[in-house]
Structures are given as structure tokens and as C-alpha cells.
């Protein structure tokens, strides 16, 4: 070999081991720093949910009896005021942006005032331990609520909070009427057909089945009572052959229950659609879960305004004379004023004070056969859902100028109370 080649070969072979070591070492350090940064970023940005049960006493010039009853107008007003005072207190604090929900679940009478029972839900970014967070929350409420302008007059010193887990939080929410787990984010463009729903979206929906076959919808108003239409029981009366199922599919159902008693409004007289309401008592109570719980009944004085958005849900047909569906569907409809619904080209004065029209005068959004007896619901400002109507009748399904006609729940509210005590 030529001596010059030997020198070149030796030079190439001499790879300076310390350089390799240094490069490897540096690479490992860079890798470790990157992993550390990623772990830190993920941990910091991973928001963790913390739930608290909180009580807060207050005085008010309103009488407890005025707002003590769940779903009453005064209960809603008082809850809304306190919830917004509490949320404002957090928005002025370092916990701004971390409070997700302040939700009154009930009021109880105290010796000198009233106690508001409230769920507080936070999504924390920080990695503080729960004990420190408890102290921070309590301090914020003590300090910030002093500046809150009533009525009601809150007593910041009275605040007590207790951390609760997800199951306890769910149980409290499932015991309140009109709460939902999943929000409707998708917009449904068709009524007849609508869109399929997810579990827990409309937890009060029931299916009434005669010899195991779906016939009508119904709505859970407490653990043992359903509201439905009177016409569902016109031909089939024996409670022993009726069952109620719950959940978003008919088969398999989430839960099934026998029917002990059916009460049809005494003023319902076929072929008139007036007073198209019934209540059915379950043979044993359904346990409330995220997927099955009750809607709120509006007071008789509750006002649903024409133009309001409402939702109708059911297992009914996608078009006139079609088949029932195994999966629950929903459609957004508009509340239509009775004066409009009674116009000659619409229902020509056949809408009574016990009826409520909803849908679209352009057609397409409607309930259909098999949806009868099911719920038409509307949310209040606190996102609590109320039963506004019961699917009753209509001229076919989804036709222009022929919106769905529902039993007006506020008009039969006192009858429901007289039959069920609810």
C-alpha cells in the first residue's frame, strides 16, 4: 500500500471517541429536556375537574315558601341570582377561568335565614393539591362575597365546602329535574327524521309498549309517574299488558318497568283532541341514573313564548305512515303562537287553550306517528329543561302550514298535580 493511503486510512479510522461520547451525552440531555418539557406542558395543561358541595346561608325579603319549591319561577329566579353572585366572586379572583358551574340544587330553611345548597365545579390547570385548593376556594368566597350586592343578602362567613367525587356529583344532578349530561351541538335540519341522540341527552324519554311493541312516547316526571297522551290508551286499556322502557334504544332498553295504573283525563273524548293527556304509574320506581331521570314540570303560570326554540323527541316514524325507529331521535322546533296556528290556512280555529303548536310553517320539522305521548321540551336561562307539550296530533307529518300540535302542559298542570301529587 502507498504510504499516503495508510495515513488517510488511519485518519478516517481515528473517530475521536470523546467526540462520539460528547455528542451522545448532549443528545441525551436534549432528549431529556424535551421529554421534561412535554411532560410539564401536558401536566400543566391537563385540566382536572374538581367538584364541591357547598352551603351558603342568606336572608331575603321573599318568603321561603315563594322560592322553596323546585322548578317554580321564584326558585329559578333566586337560584339564578345566587349562582351569578358566586360566579362573579370567582371571576374577580385568581380562580377566574377555572370555575365551570355554580348550580343550586335546593334550598332549606334555617333558624335565621335560608341555606342554599350548591354544586361548584372547577376545571383546574394547576397541580395544587386538593387541600390547598379547598382553602383557596373558601377564601375567595369569604372575601369576594362581601362585595356582592343583594338581594338576597348572602352571609360569606357561613360558606362551607366539601370536596365530592364524580359519582356523588352525578347523583345530585340526576336528582334535580330537567338536567342533561350531553348537550345538543349538532343542529338537526329535518323534523320528520331529525337526528339520532346520544345516551343521557333526553333522559326523561320513555317508550310505552303494548305486549312489548312500541306504541307511544311518554315522559318521566318523577320516579314512579309518566305523562303521556290520552289517545295512546283509547283502544288498549289494561295496565298489565303495558310496559315502559327507558334509554335511547327500544331494543335493548336501558331499563324496563311494568305499569300499575293508567289515568286518562276525564274530559278527553275521542274524536276530539282536546285534553289529550294521561298519567301512568310505574309498578316500582326507576332509579335515577345519568341516562334515566325526570324532566321539570312548569307551573301553570309558566310562560313559554312563541318563537322560543323547543325540542321534540321520539321513536316515531321518519315520515307520514312510516315505521317506528329503534333509536331515539330529536328535532328542534319553534313554538308557534295559537293565533297563527288558528289561521284558516293552518288549523282554522281548531286549536283550543289546551293545545300548543310547534314546528315550522315551512314544514319539515315535526313529530309523527309513534311519537305521540312523548315530550316537547324547552330550556330556561339556567339550562334546566321543562315539559312544554305532549305530542298529540297534526295533519300528517312535516307538511307546510301543518305544524305539530301538542297538549299544552301548563293548561293541564293542575290536573297532573291532582292525579299524582307532583
Tell me whether residue 231 is one of the annotated catalytic residues: yes
Residue choice 264, 391, 412, 416 for contact with ligand 4AZ (CB under 6 A): 391
Nearer residue to ligand 4AZ within complex by CB, 51 or 392: 392
Residue choice 335, 371, 386, 389 for contact with ligand 4AZ (CB under 6 A): 371
Distance in angstroms (rounded) separating the CA atoms of residues 205 and 292: 8
Nearer residue to ligand 4AZ within complex by CB, 368 or 384: 368
Q: What does the block give as the cell for 391?
A: 305530542
Is residue 393 involved in binding ligand 4AZ (CB under 6 A)?
A: yes
For the bound state, the minimum distance from the C-beta of residue 378 to ligand 4AZ, rounded and expressed in Å, comes to 18
Largest CA distance in the chain: 118
DSSP code for 71: T
Nearer residue to ligand 4AZ within complex by CB, 97 or 400: 400
Pick the catalytic residue from 278, 324, 372, 392.
Answer: 372
Nearer residue to ligand 4AZ within complex by CB, 346 or 368: 368
For the bound state, the minimum distance from the C-beta of residue 158 to ligand 4AZ, rounded and expressed in Å, comes to 51
Count other Cβ atoms within 10 Å, centred on residue 292.
22
For the bound state, the minimum distance from the C-beta of residue 404 to ligand 4AZ, rounded and expressed in Å, comes to 4
Find cell 336528582 and name the residue.
175
Pick the catalytic residue from 274, 276, 299, 371.
Answer: 276
Nearest to 206 by CA among 197, 198, 214: 214
Where does residue 111 rank: exposed (0-12), middle (13-18), buried (19+ CB within 10 A)?
A: exposed
Pick the catalytic residue from 231, 273, 293, 302.
Answer: 231
Nearest to 176 by CA among 103, 123, 120: 103
For the bound state, the minimum distance from the C-beta of residue 321 to ligand 4AZ, rounded and expressed in Å, comes to 9
Footprint of ligand 4AZ on 340-369 (CB under 6 A): 366-369
For the bound state, the minimum distance from the C-beta of residue 146 to ligand 4AZ, rounded and expressed in Å, comes to 55
Residue choice 57, 404, 408, 419 for contact with ligand 4AZ (CB under 6 A): 404
For the bound state, the minimum distance from the C-beta of residue 372 to ligand 4AZ, rounded and expressed in Å, comes to 4
Distance in angstroms (rounded) separating the CA atoms of residues 180 and 172: 12
For the bound state, the minimum distance from the C-beta of residue 234 to ligand 4AZ, rounded and expressed in Å, comes to 11
Is residue 208 involved in binding ligand 4AZ (CB under 6 A)?
A: no
Tell me whether residue 188 is one of the annotated catalytic residues: no
Helix (H) or strand (E) holding 120: strand 113-124
For the bound state, the minimum distance from the C-beta of residue 153 to ligand 4AZ, rounded and expressed in Å, comes to 49
State the number of binding residues for ligand 4AZ (CB under 6 A). Answer: 11
Cite the beta strand spans of 165-254 per DSSP E.
Answer: 195-196, 205-210, 213-220, 225-228, 242-246
Count other Cβ atoms within 10 Å, centred on residue 381.
8
Residue choice 328, 397, 409, 416 for contact with ligand 4AZ (CB under 6 A): 397
Distance in angstroms (rounded) separating the CA atoms of residues 144 and 309: 36
Burial profile 224-236: b = 16 or more Cβ within 10 angstroms, e = fewer: bbbbbbbbbbeee
Burial profile 247-274: b = 16 or more Cβ within 10 angstroms, e = fewer: bbbbeebbeebebeebbbbeebeeeebb
Footprint of ligand 4AZ on 132-161 (CB under 6 A): none
Distance in angstroms (rounded) separating the CA atoms of residues 286 and 60: 36
Distance in angstroms (rounded) separating the CA atoms of residues 283 and 349: 40
Q: Which x/- pattern, by CB under 6 A, does the window 307-346 give for ligand 4AZ? A: ----------------------------------------
Nearest to 263 by CA among 232, 295, 294: 232
Nearer residue to ligand 4AZ within complex by CB, 298 or 316: 316
39: Cβ–Cβ under 8 A, 6 or more apart, which residues?
none
Residue choice 325, 372, 378, 419 for contact with ligand 4AZ (CB under 6 A): 372
Nearer residue to ligand 4AZ within complex by CB, 210 or 393: 393
**Binding segment (CB under 6 A) for ligand 4AZ, from list 22-30, 49-57, 199-207, 390-398:** 390-398
Phi, psi at 85, each rounded to 5°: -65, -40
* Cβ contact 216:208 at 8 Å: yes
Is the previous residue joined to 271 through a cis bond, with omega within 30 degrees of 0?
yes
**Binding segment (CB under 6 A) for ligand 4AZ, from list 20-28, 133-141, 262-270, 388-396:** 388-396
Q: SS3 for 225?
A: strand
**Binding segment (CB under 6 A) for ligand 4AZ, from list 164-172, 177-185, 290-298, 393-401:** 393-401
Tell me whether residue 72 is one of the annotated catalytic residues: no
Catalytic residues: 231, 276, 372
Provide the binding-site residues for ligand 4AZ, judged by CB under 6 A.
Answer: 366-369, 371-372, 391, 393-394, 397, 404
Amino acid at each position: 500500500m502507498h504510504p499516503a493511503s495508510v495515513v488517510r486510512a488511519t485518519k478516517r479510522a481515528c473517530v475521536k471517541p470523546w467526540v462520539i461520547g460528547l455528542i451522545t451525552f448532549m443528545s441525551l440531555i436534549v432528549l431529556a429536556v424535551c421529554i421534561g418539557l412535554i411532560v410539564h406542558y401536558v401536566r400543566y395543561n391537563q385540566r382536572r375537574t374538581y367538584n364541591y358541595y357547598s352551603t351558603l346561608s342568606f336572608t331575603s325579603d321573599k318568603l321561603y315558601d315563594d322560592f322553596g319549591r323546585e322548578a317554580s319561577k321564584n326558585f329559578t329566579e333566586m337560584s339564578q341570582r345566587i349562582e351569578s353572585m358566586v360566579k362573579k366572586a370567582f371571576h374577580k379572583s385568581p380562580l377566574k377561568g377555572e370555575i365551570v358551574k355554580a348550580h343550586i340544587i335546593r334550598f332549606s330553611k334555617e333558624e335565621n335565614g335560608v341555606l342554599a345548597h350548591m354544586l361548584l365545579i372547577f376545571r383546574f390547570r394547576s397541580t395544587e393539591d386538593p387541600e390547598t385548593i379547598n382553602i383557596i376556594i373558601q377564601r375567595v368566597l369569604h372575601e369576594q362575597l362581601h362585595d356582592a350586592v343583594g338581594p338576597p343578602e348572602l352571609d360569606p362567613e357561613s360558606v362551607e365546602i366539601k370536596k365530592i367525587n364524580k359519582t356523588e356529583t352525578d347523583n345530585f344532578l340526576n336528582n334535580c329535574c330537567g338536567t342533561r349530561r350531553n348537550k345538543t351541538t349538532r343542529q338537526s335540519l329535518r323534523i320528520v327524521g331529525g337526528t339520532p341522540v346520544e345516551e343521557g341527552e333526553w333522559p326523561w324519554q320513555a317508550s310505552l309498549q303494548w305486549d312489548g311493541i312500541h306504541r307511544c312516547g311518554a315522559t318521566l316526571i318523577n320516579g314512579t309517574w309518566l305523562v303521556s297522551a290520552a289517545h295512546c290508551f283509547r283502544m288498549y286499556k289494561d295496565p298489565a299488558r303495558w310496559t315502559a322502557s327507558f334509554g335511547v334504544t327500544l331494543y335493548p332498553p336501558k331499563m324496563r318497568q311494568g305499569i300499575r295504573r293508567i289515568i286518562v283525563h276525564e274530559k278527553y273524548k275521542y274524536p276530539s283532541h282536546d285534553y289529550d293527556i294521561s298519567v301512568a304509574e310505574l309498578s316500582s320506581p326507576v332509579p335515577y341514573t345519568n341516562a334515566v331521570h325526570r324532566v321539570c314540570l312548569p307551573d301553570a303560570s309558566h310562560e313559554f313564548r312563541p318563537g322560543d326554540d323547543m325540542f321534540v323527541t321520539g321513536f316515531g316514524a321518519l315520515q307520514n305512515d312510516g315505521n317506528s325507529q329503534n333509536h331515539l331521535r330529536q328535532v328542534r322546533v319553534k313554538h308557534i303562537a295559537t293565533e297563527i296556528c288558528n289561521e284558516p290556512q293552518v288549523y282554522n280555529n281548531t286549536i283550543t287553550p289546551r293545545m300548543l303548536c310547534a314546528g315550522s310553517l315551512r314544514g319539515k320539522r315535526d313529530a309523527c306517528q309513534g311519537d305521540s305521548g312523548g315530550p316537547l321540551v324547552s330550556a330556561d336561562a339556567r339550562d334546566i329543561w321543562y315539559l312544554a307539550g305532549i305530542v298529540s296530533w297534526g295533519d300528517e307529518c312535516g307538511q307546510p302550514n301543518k305544524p305539530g300540535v301538542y297538549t299544552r302542559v301548563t293548561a293541564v298542570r293542575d290536573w297532573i298535580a291532582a292525579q299524582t301529587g307532583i
